[in-house]
Structure 1
Amino acid sequence: MPFVDRLVDWAARCPDRDAAVIDGQRLSYAQLCRRAAGLRLPEPDGGSLPELVALDLGNTLDFVVAFTAVVGRGRIAAVLDPAWPDPVRAAALDRLGPGAVFTGANFATPEGSAGSPAALADGGPGRLFYCGFTSGTTRMPKAFVRTVGSWQRSLERSTAYFGTAPGDRVLVPGPLSASLGLYALAECLYAGATFYGQTAPDTAAALDLLTTGTATRLVAVPSQLRMLGLRARSPWPSVRSVVSGGAKLGGEEVGVLHRLAPGAAVHEYYGASELSFVAARLATPGAGPHLVGRPFPGVELRIGSPDGGGAGDAAGRGPGTIWVRSDMVCQGYVAGDDGISFRREGQWATVGDYGWLDADGQLHVAGRSSDMIVTGGFNVYPHEIEEVLRSHGCDAVVVGLPDASRGRSVAAVLRSDGPPELTAGALRGLCAGELAPFKVPRRFYWVREWPRGHGGKTARAVLARAIEAGDADVRIVG
């Protein structure tokens, strides 16, 4: 694992420092090394990838130990999402063919056993160490793999860019099965910081860590930051840095974060599980709704086509497909490749996101081609409409619905504990004041909670199908 060598070093230098704290349970650097080195790994039991061990342990200290053990002892760790329904989990394992599956039932550290930290090592930069899952154009998750070197380079650059330092206490309220959460754990152990996690989402517990001065850093997706900001009643005195990834951070959320943690740097980054970091910026209120910042260290960007000849490669002429050249990109898929979600052309790679570079060389992301709604011959990117609605206090997701005359029509779904205060006509008027007519949603709905996909992201396709099926949980705004 790209942090294992550093972990062993921190265990020798600061053995009693907490490496991970989950729901108040603590694991020091020395304990993590000893337990990972002494853990009995499952023996391979067939499978097409015998060196791969699937981890189905959720957000627990056992997961931290098992992940470190599996990868630090030369195997490949495939991290399963505990939120998957049983049929999805079974299909993913069938496609992947791991040599063994680590669950709570077969996880055991013999009493008193502890191995030598010398048994743990990163291995060479070309060694495969991690298999993650991401969603795409199909309902089944796709499995990608990464090399030690790709994360070593990522960790070197991200700790320098975001300023993660020894002794930092980093709150990460999201799942370890998602790339953002797992990478944050690795970054903590690489930098000599302490990772604070939760077995299940608990906004009150997270706010307690923020308001009591325990957490010095916060790493989360925008929806989590939005919820924390909405429920916060006291400032966050010790937070020096907030890092947001996984989706576009809205201007309203940025303002709330600056108010709660006035001394904190609020970082927003754009990337993908397959690409790693692509661009980043210090977030400030009032920035354009698509701006994600300058290319991340070690990253080159082209718009339109990887040879630079696409129609969107000049400032102001986008959007076009975003192509990335970087030594942090994954090796590709080992299961579920649809030929669309991740593509390579030579040294360049893309996940199909659309955007443009402005005159200052900053990247703007319009959306993912799979999210784009084509209505009446016009291309509509949901994020732009969502940002307008959120700027007026409406938590919204935009989807495309079948339409006989337009192909697809634009619909907005608000998340609310009860019927929204604004009528559909008022909501339409707000949008019409800031958007072109073809971008204004024709219908508005509300739900108490959105369906979630991998990593906690809103499952747009599931939401659209629920509307089409007349699901009783999706109510129309009058």
Structure 2
Amino acid sequence: MELWQSLARWADQQPDHLAVLTPGRQLTYGHLKRRSSAIARQLDSLPSTRIGVSTSDPIEMAIAFYAIAASGKTLVVIDPAWPENLAITMASSLHCNYVIASPNSTTLPGISSLTAIPESPADGDYVASAENLSSSRDLLVICTSGSSSRPKPVVRTVGSWEESLSAGSRILGASLDQATLCPSPISHGLGLYAMVESVHSGGTFLATGKWDLNGVRSLLSKSSCTRIVSVPTILTRLLELAKPTTLSNLQVVVSGGEALHQETVQLLHKIAPLARCVEYFGSSEHSLIAYRERKPDQPASPYFEGQLFPGVRAHIHRKDSATGFGLLYIDSPFNAKGYDASSEASVSRCGKSIGIGDRAMLASGSARVVLARRNDEMMNLNGNNIHPGEVSTALESVGLPNAIVQLDESGPEPQMVAYTVSPPRSRSTLISGLGQHLSRYKIPHRITYLRSWPETFSGKLNTAALNDQDLDIERSDWLR
């Protein structure tokens, strides 16, 4: 199994090189190999196939991941941010009788706790055992946000992760000489993947385990960060709040999810003029789909247009003849097996391809894909098709970035509403500015200024609550 063999190889070649650095602790490749070997031996005696991991500590996550991978078990991520009742429900439905957790974590009733920091690290390693593990076996179950409060568990195989690491590392800039900062939660897909990608390539992973500005500043004072992997919102805050001198050695910035705002790209190149800025589009179900490099003079468009990663093939179902957009299906060696049998959700299948509802069209002989924003379906208002991404981009151009555009159908007539947490702007200025970018029927009926975004129980943006009556609204301005 290449995952374990790569760790063992780096541990033999550079045992004292830092594998993971957090604000309070550090873990070398030699220690990571020994400690994960010790945990793997403990796991051998357990009857359970699936082992839960509930931690926000990147060092504990690294040890647990490689221990579970080496032992032939399957890692199930139990997000430490979940309420206790949800954690118990998910662990039970996913058949986790044992959970590796931080020493100070709350014990879940009916589930045995293990520790990721054994007192006596084992000698030797697990290479001989791990070599015989099939690439088709389940490596990981990671949960994505569902349409309800119940997360959707996605099952990934060893082979799908190893294939994505092999194909993506060069494009995303992961290598032996990189010190990768990831200020995102380690229990979420992007953070966990960035950690494994960094260790797999022999680099150093700098992480706080969750967004923590003081922790990030501490890391940047201890190590020269050459690479960042994050989502646009956190990346923007990091560039704005960190001391520019601590990021001057940046070589690569990787952003996953929505497109970066032009101001963020320009700020990045001001701080580190020679850095590559790579945006990629993917999902827990598909892993890597497409990527592009952003230049400081290349503004974001309403759509994400990028090159398909090597090995990825795409096709479109139910194509709209007027726009060319339809439902995206991906055939890729990186694809997940699907959702766990305990989930009510299911992926849509077409042969070996799977789709999860993303809308896209193909370009340049199917080598490139143009993707609509995630969860941003085309709206039909009074017979007019309107893409929310186009409206959001226009709002950004008049000083209202990160606005969310939705249809409000609670009244007699449907209305387009833009929600923002930006300071209120002059109504006349907005109407004049938007009129330069949008047809009149594409201008929102009103702008609602919120004091803060509504959030789910786990702290994520709750777009479903934007039309609720109890929103913390500062002001609403009618534009038409």
Number of matched pairs: 458
Q: 2:417 aligns with which of 396, 411, 419?
A: 411
What is the letter of the counterpart of residue 297 of structure 1? P
What is the letter of the counterpart of residue 130 of structure 2? A
Per-residue Cα deviation, 1:403-428 (whole angstroms, up to 9, x for no partner): 33444x33222224xxx141455445
Scaled by the length of structure 2, the TM-score of the pair is 0.86
Residue 324 of structure 1 is matched in structure 2 by 330
Q: 1:177 aligns with which of 173, 187, 209?
A: 187
Matched, 1:274 2:285: yes
Q: Distance in 2 between matches of 1:249 and 1:211?
A: 26
Match of 1:301, SS state, is strand
- Identity across the alignment (%): 29
Residue 198 of structure 1 is matched in structure 2 by 208
Using a 3 Å threshold, how does the CA distance of structure 1 residues 211 and 246 change in structure 2: closer, same or farther? farther
5 Å matches for 1:238-317?
Answer: 238-284=249-295, 285-305=298-318, 310-311=319-320, 317=323
Query: Are 2:52 and 2:100, in contact at CA under 8 Å, matched by a contact in 1?
Result: yes
Deviation at 1:272, TM superposition (A): 1.0
Match of 1:396, SS state, is coil
Match of 2:69, SS state, is helix
Query: Are 1:19 and 1:32, in contact at CA under 8 Å, matched by a contact in 2?
Result: yes
5 Å matches for 1:385-396?
Answer: 385-396=391-402
Q: Distance in 1 between matches of 2:389 and 2:159?
A: 34
Using a 3 Å threshold, how does the CA distance of structure 1 residues 231 and 160 change in structure 2: closer, same or farther? same
Per-residue Cα deviation, 1:11-67 (whole angstroms, up to 9, x for no partner): 00000001101124100001011111112449758xxxx311111112342222112
Instruction: Identify the range of structure 1 (163-172 vs 5-14) with the bigger mean alpha-carbon deviation.
Output: 163-172
Match of 1:403, SS state, is coil
Instruction: Identify the range of structure 1 (396-405 vs 256-265) with the bigger mean alpha-carbon deviation.
Output: 396-405
Query: Are 2:37 and 2:121, in contact at CA under 8 Å, matched by a contact in 1?
Result: no
5 Å matches for 1:61-72?
Answer: 61-72=59-70
Scaled by the length of structure 1, the TM-score of the pair is 0.87
Matched, 1:154 2:164: yes
Q: 2:130 aligns with which of 121, 137, 143?
A: 121
Deviation at 1:433, TM superposition (A): 2.7
Residue 443 of structure 1 is matched in structure 2 by 446
Q: Where does the alignment leave 5 or more consecutive residues of structure 1 unmatched?
A: none
Q: Where does the alignment leave 5 or more consecutive residues of structure 2 unmatched?
A: 104-112
Match of 1:434, SS state, is coil
Q: Distance in 1 between matches of 2:458 and 2:310?
A: 25
5 Å matches for 1:354-433?
Answer: 354-359=359-364, 361-368=367-374, 372-398=378-404, 399-407=406-414, 409-416=415-422, 420-424=423-427, 426-433=429-436
Q: Distance in 2 between matches of 1:43 and 1:374?
A: 58
Q: Distance in 2 between matches of 1:371 and 1:95?
A: 32
5 Å matches for 1:456-471?
Answer: 458-461=461-464, 463-464=465-466, 467-471=467-471
Deviation at 1:155, TM superposition (A): 0.4
Matched, 1:333 2:339: yes
What is the letter of the counterpart of residue 31 of structure 2? Q
Q: Distance in 2 between matches of 1:145 and 1:36?
A: 22
Per-residue Cα deviation, 1:123-160 (whole angstroms, up to 9, x for no partner): 22111110011123333101011111111110001112
Per-residue Cα deviation, 1:249-283 (whole angstroms, up to 9, x for no partner): 23332222222211101000111110111110111
Q: Distance in 2 between matches of 1:53 and 1:453?
A: 27
Q: Distance in 2 between matches of 1:304 and 1:375?
A: 24
Q: Distance in 2 between matches of 1:382 and 1:211?
A: 41
Residue 112 of structure 1 is matched in structure 2 by 120
